[in-house]
Chains A and B, each alone.
Chain A
Amino acid sequence: MQTLMNQLRLATLRFAPGRAVLVAMLLGPLVGAFVAYGAIAAQEPNEVVIDNFTFGPPELTVAVGTTVKWVNHDDIPHNVVNKDKVFRSKALDTDDSFSFTFASAGTFDYFCGLHPHMQGKVIVK
């Protein structure tokens, strides 16, 4: 208990220059908002991001002629394989990407050839 009290006291001391903390607290949400904006802005309109063994967005609708880019943010390789063999990427290591231009309309189901429970869809109109 004594140790805990000491730790609490230490913690109080550490936060004694309260002004900086106060400024941080006030700025916190603002910084958070910027970070969130940055995260959204980082994903381009026709981009599918692989995160946590998931394609996001799982369903993407684009116009004919659009190039879609897949980026792997996991620290495990994945790939992108169309069910009907229209496209197949090589293995994408961390931050590697694959692009494919959809020349015709249709629904293109795809999955990860290494982890086939990962599935996604591109609808080309």
Chain B
Amino acid sequence: MANEGPDDRKKGLGRREVLECMVWAGTGVLWTISGGVPHSVGLIGEAAAAAPAKGFTFLQMSDSHIGFDKAANPDALGTLREAVAKVKAMPTKPSFIIHTGDITHLSKPAEFDNADKVFGETGLQTHWVPGEHDIIDEERGKAYLERYGKGSKGAGWYSFDDHGVHFIGLVNVVDLKGGGLGNLGAEQLAWLEADLKDKSASTPIVVFSHIPLYVLYKDWGWGTEDGQRALDMLKRFGSVTVLNGHIHQLAQKVEGNMTFHTALSTAFPQPTPGSAPSPGPQVVPADQLRSKLGLSTVTVVQGNKPLAIIDNTLA
């Protein structure tokens, strides 16, 4: 099954590079950086069929919702374990994991403990950003920061460099305003401006946050109020990849030198924009859950080829 993104047809990348992102839905997205532009090395679980990766790879995982036990998936920890088993079996070991938020469902210590234990089994370093579910402890984010906030600023934002790529983790789930969307805030935007100031335009950028930085569906709050201000600061860079979670489904678009990608959850699917009364967890029959979280490939290639999302079920 291939779902073509009509808005992205024929736009291509406008660059000579080819960008590909292969996704296995229940696990994560495997990226590799080659010539400064992220592209895929192949399907997780089927990576043996792909050419050996050159340079380095990393993984995006998202929306683990540890502690979630409702009808849409009574065992979110179990499906995370399945995903981690896939990661451990990968023939090409990624350099690290980026987790784009909603590690837990209710910010409870036991939920964080369980998540840490299972992610720890990968033996990989994980770079986290919080989702709104990770900061609903009584002290509104203290539990998250104590665990993952070392070396970060404010509510947990930070940057780091690896293999010549500048990675930026942003937090857009705190101090949300009534009627609004995700929020970065003036302090974080000022920090971002300073962080980028001395970076040359040829530095590849990967920016990640929980809620999509662009407005994907306003009626369900799927976007960031001041996200455009961050994206404006990134416009001068030759290669920008924006990784988000929150919406528990694949969405990808390319705009100029920017590629936007949202990852699937390892816990439960959510409906496509406007297709249900609310964005709440989508209940599918138990024997179909894994087929819903099945093997997916997102490929963006240069030229006239359309952006395609290909889902291969695991069932």
A binding-site residues for B, Cβ under 8 Å: 52-54, 74-77, 79, 81, 83, 90-91, 93-94, 109-111, 113-117, 119
Residues of A within 8 A of B133 (CB): 77, 114
Partner of A114, one of B176, B181, B280: B176
Residues of A within 8 A of B219 (CB): 117
What is the minimal beta-carbon distance from A42 to any residue of chain B, in angstroms?
19
What is the minimal beta-carbon distance from B76 to any residue of chain A, in angstroms?
12
The answer to whether residues A90 and B278 also contact, given A114-B176, A116-B177 and a CB cut-off of 8 A, is no
Contact A110 B178 (CB under 8 A): yes
With A and B bound together, what is the CA distance between A33 and B160 in angstroms?
62
The answer to whether residues A116 and B105 also contact, given A77-B133, A94-B70 and a CB cut-off of 8 A, is no
Contact A75 B71 (CB under 8 A): yes
Residue of A at shortest CB range from B174?
A113
Contact A91 B136 (CB under 8 A): yes
Give chain B interface residues in 41-100, CB to chain A under 8 Å: 70-72
**20 other contacts beyond A116-B177, A117-B179, with CB at 8 A cut-off?**
A53-B278, A75-B70, A75-B72, A75-B281, A76-B280, A77-B106, A77-B133, A81-B178, A91-B107, A94-B70, A111-B177, A111-B178, A113-B176, A114-B133, A114-B136, A116-B176, A116-B178, A117-B181, A117-B220, A117-B221
Question: What secondary structure prevails in chain B residues at the interface with A?
Answer: loop
Residue of B at shortest CB range from A111?
B178
Residue of B at shortest CB range from A52?
B278
What is the minimal beta-carbon distance from A52 to any residue of chain B, in angstroms?
4
Contact A116 B181 (CB under 8 A): yes
Give chain B interface residues in 106-152, CB to chain A under 8 Å: 106-107, 132-133, 136, 138
Residue of B at shortest CB range from A94?
B70
Residues of B within 8 A of A79 (CB): 136
* Pairs A–B under 8 Å by Cβ, sample size 11: A52-B280, A53-B278, A75-B280, A77-B105, A77-B133, A114-B132, A114-B133, A116-B178, A116-B180, A117-B181, A117-B220
Residues of B within 8 A of A111 (CB): 177-179
What is the minimal beta-carbon distance from B72 to any residue of chain A, in angstroms?
7
Residue of B at shortest CB range from A117?
B221
Residue of B at shortest CB range from A54?
B278
Question: What secondary structure prevails in chain A residues at the interface with B?
Answer: loop
Chain B residue total in the interface (Cβ 8 A): 25
What is the minimal beta-carbon distance from A7 to any residue of chain B, in angstroms?
20
Residues of A within 8 A of B106 (CB): 77, 91, 93
With A and B bound together, what is the CA distance between A115 and B136 in angstroms?
12
Contact A53 B280 (CB under 8 A): yes
With A and B bound together, what is the CA distance between A59 and B91 in angstroms?
57
Partner of A109, one of B178, B220, B280: B178
Contact A119 B178 (CB under 8 A): yes
Residues of B within 8 A of A110 (CB): 178
Of residues B71, B136, B281, which shows the largest number of chain A Cβ atoms within 10 Å of its Cβ?
B136
What is the minimal beta-carbon distance from A1 to any residue of chain B, in angstroms?
27
* B279 at interface, CB cutoff 8 A: yes
* B277 at interface, CB cutoff 8 A: yes
Residue of B at shortest CB range from A90?
B138
Residues of B within 8 A of A109 (CB): 178
With A and B bound together, what is the CA distance between A117 and B219 in angstroms?
7
For B245-283 the 0/1 string (1 means CB < 8 A from A) is 000000000000000000000000000000001111100
With A and B bound together, what is the CA distance between A94 and B106 in angstroms?
11
With A and B bound together, what is the CA distance between A81 and B133 in angstroms?
16
What is the minimal beta-carbon distance from B310 to any residue of chain A, in angstroms?
29
Residues of A within 8 A of B279 (CB): 53
Residue of B at shortest CB range from A120?
B178
Residues of B within 8 A of A113 (CB): 176
Contact A74 B178 (CB under 8 A): no
Residues of A within 8 A of B178 (CB): 81, 83, 109-111, 116, 119
With A and B bound together, what is the CA distance between A90 and B106 in angstroms?
11
Residue of A at shortest CB range from B220?
A117
With A and B bound together, what is the CA distance between A83 and B218 in angstroms?
20
Give chain B interface residues in 163-209, CB to chain A under 8 Å: 176-181
